[in-house]
Amino acid sequence: MNDIQRLSPEIQTQLTRLRSRFVPRQCYQKFADAVSNLEDRRRAEIAEGLHPEARGIAVIGNSGSGKSTGINHFFRKHDTLSLLSEYRETADVASFLVPSPATLKGVGISCLSGLGYPLMRDRTAGIIWELVQTHLRELQVMFLHLDEAQDLMGSQSEREMLAVVNTLKSVMQNRRWPVSIILSGLPDLRTLLNLDPQLGRRFTPVSFSQLDEIHDGRNVRALLGQYAVAISLELAPELQEDDFIARLIHSAASEFGILIEIVIGAIEICLRRQETVLAMPRFVAEYLRRTGCANDPNPFVRQDYTALNPRLLLPKNEDVSPSIPPRRKKGRKQ
The answer to whether position 92 is within a domain reads: yes
Model pLDDT for residues 35-73, shown as the tens digit of each residue = 999 999 999 999 999 999 999 999 999 999 999 999 999
Q: How confident is the model at residue 293 (pLDDT cuts 50, 70, 90)?
A: confident
Residue 325, pLDDT > 60, answer: no
Q: Are both 105 and 188 inside the same structural domain?
A: yes
Residue 327, pLDDT > 50, answer: no
Q: Are both 204 and 221 inside the same structural domain?
A: no
According to the model, what pLDDT value does residue 329 have? Answer: 47
The answer to whether position 86 is within a domain reads: yes
Q: Residue 286, CB half-sphere, CA atoms under 13 Å: how many?
A: 26
Q: Are both 204 and 129 inside the same structural domain?
A: yes
Average pLDDT over residues 284-292: 92
When the pLDDT of each residue in the chain is averaged and rounded to a whole number, the result is 91
According to the model, what pLDDT value does residue 331 have? Answer: 46
Average pLDDT over residues 273-293: 93
According to the model, what pLDDT value does residue 262 have? Answer: 97
Length of the chain in terms of residues written? 334
Average pLDDT over residues 63-89: 94
Q: Are both 204 and 216 inside the same structural domain?
A: no
Q: Are both 91 and 181 inside the same structural domain?
A: yes
Residue after which a domain boundary falls, among 167, 185, 208: 208
Q: How far is it, in rounded angstroms, from Cα 272 to Cα 7?
A: 6
According to the model, what pLDDT value does residue 3 have? Answer: 62
Task: Report the amino acid identity of residue 55.
Answer: R
Q: Are both 44 and 182 inside the same structural domain?
A: yes
Does residue 47 sit in helix, strand or coil?
helix
Q: How far is it, in rounded angstroms, from Cα 107 to Cα 94?
A: 13
Q: How far is it, in rounded angstroms, from Cα 28 to Cα 196?
A: 27
Sheet of 143-147, strand order: 93-97, 143-147, 180-185, 56-61, 203-208
Task: Report the amino acid identity of residue 316.
Answer: K
E-strand ranges in 100-186 read 143-147, 180-185
- Cβ atoms < 10 Å from Cβ of 28: 22
Residue 326 neighbours by CB under 8 Å, 6+ apart: 246, 304, 305, 306
Nearest to 199 by CA among 175, 164, 238, 151: 164
Average pLDDT over residues 111-127: 94
Residue 237, pLDDT > 80, answer: yes
According to the model, what pLDDT value does residue 332 have? Answer: 43
Residue 144, pLDDT > 50, answer: yes
According to the model, what pLDDT value does residue 321 have? Answer: 64
Going from the C-alpha of 318 to that of each of 303, 306, 331, the distances in angstroms are 17, 15, 33
Least confident of 2-6, 113-117, 135-139, 246-250: 2-6
Nearest to 192 by CA among 237, 236, 217, 156: 156
**Considering the chain, what percentage of its residues have pLDDT values greater than 90?**
81
Give the domain range for residue 298.
212-319
DSSP lists the bridge partners of residue 80 as none
Residue 324, pLDDT > 50, answer: no
Q: Are both 151 and 216 inside the same structural domain?
A: no
According to the model, what pLDDT value does residue 296 have? Answer: 78
pTM for this prediction: 0.90
DSSP H or E stretch at residue 29: helix 26-47
Q: Are both 139 and 191 inside the same structural domain?
A: yes
Q: What share of the chain is helix, strand, coil (3-state, %, to 5)?
A: 50, 10, 40
Q: Are both 170 and 99 inside the same structural domain?
A: yes
Does a cis peptide bond (omega within 30 degrees of 0) precede residue 101? yes
Q: Are both 143 and 225 inside the same structural domain?
A: no
Q: Are both 55 and 185 inside the same structural domain?
A: yes
Residue after which a domain boundary falls, among 169, 192, 208: 208
- Cβ atoms < 10 Å from Cβ of 82: 16
DSSP lists the bridge partners of residue 58 as 183, 205
The answer to whether position 13 is within a domain reads: no
Residue 87, pLDDT > 90, answer: no
Least confident of 94-98, 128-132, 289-293: 289-293
Structurally, the chain folds into a number of domains equal to 2
Q: What is the CATH number of the domain that holds 199?
A: 3.40.50.300
